[in-house]
Amino acid sequence: MKRTRCLVLLVMGLGLSQASSARLNVFACEPEWASLAKALGGELIAATSATTARQDPHRIEARPSLIAKVRRADLLVCNGAELEIGWLPMLQRQAGNRKVLPGQAGYFEAAEQVERLGIPEKVDRSMGDVHASGNPHVHLDPRRVLKIASALSERLMSLDPSNTGHYRSRLDDFTHHWQQALERWQRIAEPLKGARVVVYHQDWDYLFDWLQIVKAGSLEPKPGLPATAGHLAKLRQSLMEEPASAIVYTRYQNPKAAQRLSQLTGIAALELPYTVGGGEGVTDLFSLFDETLKRLLQVVP
Ligand SMILES: [Zn+2]
């Protein structure tokens, strides 16, 4: 009798410790999504990112270490909308992990959860490296991040239903703090409204859409193509007619074209974080927006 009770307690104990230490192995494609998964899962999530802020998420090498990580993953959290089309399908194929293939519960695309800007009416090669499913760089609009957070939290609950309460309370907490931050950001970003800013790539479109910043040109003549001297000369001409406040680029982009245009025009070249890890103190999604706004406000009068 006593032994049976002990056994029952032991089994209950094991059950409990299993529930509280259950960990989902999350393989994120980019730092912003690893950070979001961690915020929503806390200690129940082990998250790793395939890329860092110094790497161009459009094109990385499908290294064996990444294949091994995809093989062990319970959930892939990627941007989608073709951002990783050059490397993720190969990782998924080589990892042989059916759980994380497209269409499975273990595969989550952030861009899929929100409306996208810039969906082209038609796509052909002459347009450069155009994303047919629209501009994929959705994480720089905090309103969209909130929608993605809610969808990702649901996914965590469905993969780990025994910890639904944990994920729900973390989502509530995240949502509460994010909404407060959103109001603050919108208030302090007021002077940016209508400012003209030159970009490197189309990676700031969502931020600009949110803050009503005007894109005054792009260093890439077409998405994904490097800047040429001829293109910079054209940009210089148009900026002489209608000036801009800054030329922005990020860590994974070569700063040379931005610096060259800055020399030609006298407009400040400004490095922005773009993602978590993309600048000093940019350790999560909150500090990513804090720092981005701080830097933009320094150059926009
Ligand atoms: Zn892109």
Structure confidence at residue 127 (pLDDT): 65
pTM: 0.90
191-to-185, 213, 274, 299 alpha-carbon distances in Å? 11, 10, 20, 11
* Torsion, Cα of 265, 268, 273, 279 (10° steps): 130
Of 2-16, 219-233, 260-274, give the lowest mean pLDDT range: 2-16
Q: For residue 252, how far is its CA from the centre of ligand 1 (angstroms)?
A: 12
**Domains parsed from the chain with CATH numbers:** 22-184 (3.40.50.1980), 190-299 (3.40.50.1980)
- Residue with token string 């995809």: 70
Ligand 1 centroid to Cα of residue 130, in Å, is 8
Q: Write out pLDDT tens, residues 209-220.
A: 999 999 999 999
pLDDT at residue 133, as a whole number: 87
Ligand 1: centre distance to CA 202 (Å):
6
C-alpha distances (whole Å) from 217 to each of 251, 275, 286 are 19, 22, 28
Question: Phi-psi region for residue 117, left (φ > 0), alpha (ψ -120 to 50) or beta?
Answer: beta
Both structure tokens of 268: 């400040």
Q: 96-146, pLDDT tens digit by residue? A: 999 999 999 999 999 999 999 998 877 676 666 666 789 999 999 999 999
For residue range 137-173, what is the model confidence (pLDDT) as tens digits? Answer: 999 999 999 999 999 999 999 999 999 999 999 999 9
* Residue 15: per-residue pLDDT: 42
For residue 7, the CA-to-ligand 1 centroid distance in Å is 57
pLDDT, tens digit, 9 for 90 and up, residues 227-244: 999 999 999 999 999 999
Share of the chain above pLDDT 70, in %: 90
Q: How far is the CA of 301 from the centre of ligand 1 (A)?
A: 29
The pLDDT value recorded for residue 116 is 96
Strand order in the sheet with 268-272: 214-218, 196-199, 246-250, 268-272
> What's the pLDDT score for residue 132?
76
Ligand 1: centre distance to CA 83 (Å): 6
Q: How far apart are the CA of 59 and the centre of ligand 1, in A?
A: 10
pLDDT at position 82? 94
Query: What burial class does residue 180 get, using C-beta atoms within 10 Å of its C-beta: 0-12 exposed, 13-18 middle, 19+ buried?
Result: exposed
Please tell me the predicted confidence (pLDDT) of residue 129.
61
